[in-house]
Amino acid sequence: MMESLLALILLALLAWYWQDGLKAREVGVAAAREACAAEGLQFLDDTVAQSGLRLLRGEDGRMRLQRSFAFEYSFSGDDRQPGYVTLLGHEVTMLHTSARPPEEPPPALH
C-alpha cells in the first residue's frame, strides 16, 4: 500500500514538472520572439532549448524553479547568434541579445 502511494505521488510530481516545464518553455519562446521582433532580429528555429535549472528563492521568499533557455537569432539571415532568456517561475527575469551585428564596432565615446 505504501509503495503504491509513493509511486502515485512520484507520478504526480513528474506530471507537474513536465507541465510546468512546457509552460515555462512557451513563455521563453514568446519572450525571445518578442525581443527579436523589437530589435529587428530574426528569431531562428522558433524554439528555445533549456540550458539550466535550479531552485531559487524569489523576492517573496518562496522557492521557485529558475530555468535558463538558449535560442538563436540572426541579424541578416546569414549568421547565427546566441541569445539567452531566464525565467523564475513563469516570469522573465533576464533576456540577452546583442543589439548590433558582431562586425560593427561599438560607438565611439565622446
Considering the domain boundaries, does residue 107 fall inside one? no
Helix (H, G, I), strand (E, B) or coil at 48: coil
pLDDT in tens, 15-51: 999 999 999 999 999 999 999 999 999 999 999 999 9
Distance CA 90, CA 88 (A): 6
* Cross-strand pairs, 69: 50, 85
Considering the domain boundaries, does residue 106 fall inside one? no
The per-residue pLDDT for 47 is 95
Considering the domain boundaries, does residue 105 fall inside one? no
Distance CA 62, CA 19 (A): 20
Q: How many domains does the chain have?
A: 1
Considering the domain boundaries, does residue 101 fall inside one? no
Listed residue (103, 23, 26, 35) closest to 72, CA to CA? 35
The per-residue pLDDT for 101 is 65
For 64, the domain range is: 2-96
pLDDT in tens, 59-99: 899 999 999 999 999 998 889 999 999 999 999 999 999 76
Considering the domain boundaries, does residue 103 fall inside one? no
Q: Quick check: pTM over 0.95?
A: no
The per-residue pLDDT for 107 is 64
